[in-house]
Amino acid sequence: MQSAGYLMVNVSGSMEYQASQEMIVFCTLSVGLCCTFLYVNCVLLYTLRSKPVFCETSRYILLFNLLFADTAFLVTSLLLYILAACRLRLKVYLCGLLTSLNHLEGIISPLTLIVMSVERYVAVCFPMRHADLATVRNTGAAIAVVWTISGGNVLMRVLILVGWKNYLDPNVEMKDFCSKEAMFLAPMSSLVDKAFSGFVFAFGGFVTILSYVGVTLVARSASKDKASASKAGKTVFLHMIQLVVILIATIYSSILLSFARTVDRTTLIRLYNSFFVCLNLFSRCFSALIYGLRDKTIRPVLLKRLCGNLRCLAPT
């Protein structure tokens, strides 16, 4: 009996050590890749403010807003991920601030992608009216609407939390690591989150598909500038894929809850890490690849700033 007990403790300790080693390796790779994309995003953000054409063109202004939100989302998500990996617990008010900022930045991206798809649709299907519709002022108004909707959703979640836990001391330490799931536990908050995500998914999917179909039809029937229309169609299609991945990332917690009933804690942690990194983090890295490498105006400037004095071969 004593040997069996010693064996069980030894096996348990071995499993915990293996899980700890896996976490260290996974966390190191994830942080390294995210930091690389953060660097690329920051260089691209600086590039988009380096020339007047980028500051006066609707699609580049929208791209700057998208990249800014994605970069801020990566920073807060990476910070929360490192805190969870290190098993550090925060005060309630600090966790609430971080998760609210993360949620705000997470909503801005899909809404901006919808606006960018509409902009590409107008540019291809209504080229004569594009200059009148896609002005700097109208683009700024669209971005303001995106931020207002995002801020309103976050404010609603905060009010629900305050109303549900009006007795909660904000200076109390969290019982678990800081996350959206641990912070916003109110049933009404979950309901609002699912309803809003469903609306954005349905509305965004409808608008993006409509834009893709319109751009594709124009590309097939166009006798002139067919290559440009075809490229715009591919861009809208990539927006649609990115939108789907981002919106799937908003419900991965529900997917994990279904797995929690059938798998052990170690497997659940592995699934959480995989979903968080692949869906939540890397989905925000597509913008730099879609625009930074595909756009002929941005690509040479971006590669020059990334490589410095080294000679880079621009992809064709």
CA 250/CA 247 separation, integer angstroms: 5
Residue 301 located in a structural domain: yes
CB 62 within 8 A of CB 101: no
Beta bridge partners of 91: 173
Locate 166 and state its tokens.
């009006």
CATH number of the CATH domain containing 26: 1.20.1070.10
Residue 8 located in a structural domain: no
Residue 254: band (very low, low, confident or very high) from pLDDT cuts 50, 70, 90:
low
Residue 315 located in a structural domain: no
pLDDT tens-digit map of 92-119: 778 888 888 888 888 898 899 889 888 8
Largest separation between any pair of C-alpha atoms in the chain: 85
Q: What mean pLDDT do residues 76-89 have?
A: 81
How many CB atoms sit inside 10 A of residue 298's CB? 21
CA 311/CA 236 separation, integer angstroms: 31
Q: Between these two residues, 250 and 126, which has the higher pLDDT value?
A: 126
Residue 71 located in a structural domain: yes
Q: 77: domain range?
A: 20-307
Whether residue 228 is predicted with pLDDT greater than 90 in this model: the reply is no
Q: Which amino acid is at 173?
A: E
Residue 82 phi/psi, 5-degree rounding, is -65, -40
Residue 154 located in a structural domain: yes
Residue 6 located in a structural domain: no
Residue 314 located in a structural domain: no
- Listed in sequence order, the residues at least 6 apart from 314 whose beta carbon sits closer than 8 Å to its beta carbon are 299, 300, 303
CA 20/CA 3 separation, integer angstroms: 25
Judging by beta carbons within 10 Å of its beta carbon (0-12, 13-18, 19+), is residue 244 exposed, middle or buried?
middle
Read off the pTM. 0.82
Domain count, the chain: 1
Ramachandran region, residue 174 (left: φ > 0; alpha: ψ -120 to 50; beta: rest) = beta
Locate 136 and state its tokens.
């700097």
Q: Between these two residues, 195 and 267, which has the higher pLDDT value?
A: 195
Residue 9 located in a structural domain: no
| Best-predicted range by mean pLDDT (3-12, 125-134, 175-184, 255-264) | 125-134
Q: Please tell me the predicted confidence (pLDDT) of residue 147.
A: 94
